[in-house]
Amino acid sequence: MGRRLTTPMVRDDGVLRGATWDEALNRAARGFRSVVDAHGPRAFGMFSCSKTTNEVNYAAQKFARTVIGSNNIDSCNRT
DSSP-assigned letters across all residues of 1-47:
-PPPP-S-EEEETTEEEE--HHHHHHHHHHHHHHHHHHH-GGG--EE
Q: What is the pLDDT of residue 23?
A: 97
Q: Would you write out the chain's pLDDT as a tens digit for each of its 79 residues?
A: 678 989 999 999 999 999 999 999 999 999 999 999 999 999 999 998 888 888 998 999 999 999 999 999 988 766 5
Residue 40's identity, in one-letter code, is G
Q: Cα separation of 64 and 4, whole Å? A: 29
At residue 9, the pLDDT reads 96
